[in-house]
Amino acid sequence: MVVFPNAKINLGLNVLRKREDGYHDISTVFVPYKGMSDVLEVVFADEPGMFQYGLDCGCEPEKNLCFKAYRLMAEKYGIDPVKIYLYKNIPSGSGLGGGSADAAFTLRLINDLFGLNLSDACLAADAATLGSDCAFFIYNRPMAASGRGEILQECKLSLEGYRVEVMVPPVHVSTAEAYRGVTPAMPAVPVEDIVGRPVEEWRGLLVNDFEESILATHPEIAAAKQSFYDRGAVYASMSGSGSSVFGIFNE
C-alpha cells in the first residue's frame, strides 16, 4: 500500500509557558499543505525493516519515526512484521512536519493493512506518543492545537479562493535554538480568534513567536518571507520553528 504523507503549515504560533516536564505549552492552528509530500509504502514481510530514500532523514532507519510507529503497533496490537519504504521530499527541520506526517501515515497504513479497525481518536492517541504534532496528521484537516501540539480541536477554516506557496531556504533551525529566542507569554488575542477573521486582516495580528529571533539571526528566512509580500501575498509567515516560510495569495 502506497500513500503520500503531506506537509503542514502553522497559522500563528504562540509559546504560552514552559512546563515542568521541559516542554512548552503552545497555541497554533495546523493546516495541511498538500503541495509537498513524501512517498510511503508498507508491505507484509518475514522480518521488519525500514528503507529510506530521497532527502536525508537525519537519522538511521531504525530510529525513524515510521519504524517507531511500526514497533508501537507491533507491541500494542501484535501485528506481523512489515517492511517500510520511505522516499523523502519534505526537508527535515523545516517546520513542515514531514517526520510527524510519515509516522501518522504509517499508523494509518498498518491499521488498514491488518484490518485493525481502530478509530481516528485511537490512532491519534497512539500518534501523540510518537511526537507532539503527529496526532494532527491522523485527522489531516485544519485543527487548533494546544498543549505540546497534541491537544486538537476542530477549526472552521477555509482557504478556498486562496493559493498557498511554501519556500524552504537552505538553513537549518533547531527546535532548541527556536525556543531559546522566545519569552513565553499569553497573547492578547488567541490564534483561533484571529484565524476566524478574513485572511486580509491577518497581517500584523497573526504572529509566530519564533519569528522575531529567527528572522534576526537568519536573514535568508527573512528575505524569503519578504519575497512573498513583494509578490503580492496577503499574508506570509514562518511555519513552526522554521526554516520554511509560506505565503497566501488571492487566486
List, in order, residues 6 or more apart from 235 with CB less than 8 Å away: 199, 200, 202, 203, 206, 247, 248
Residue 236: φ, ψ to 5°: -145, 150
List, in order, residues 6 or more apart from 36 with CB less than 8 Å away: 6, 7, 89, 90, 96, 166
Residue 156 appears among annotated catalytic residues: no
Residue 8 appears among annotated catalytic residues: yes
Out of 102, 133, 209, 225, which one is annotated catalytic? 133
Cis peptide before 94 (omega within 30 of 0): no
For the CA atoms of 63, 56, 73, 5, what is the dihedral angle to 10 degrees?
Answer: 160
β-pairing, 49-54 vs 151-154, is: unpaired
Q: Taking the CB of residue 78, how many other CB atoms lie within 10 A of it?
A: 8
> H or E segment at 162?
strand 162-167
Say if residue 131 is exposed, middle or buried (CB neighbours under 10 Å; 0-12, 13-18, 19+). Answer: buried
Out of 8, 88, 209, 225, which one is annotated catalytic? 8
* Cβ atoms 14, 28 nearer than 8 A: yes
Active-site positions read 8, 133
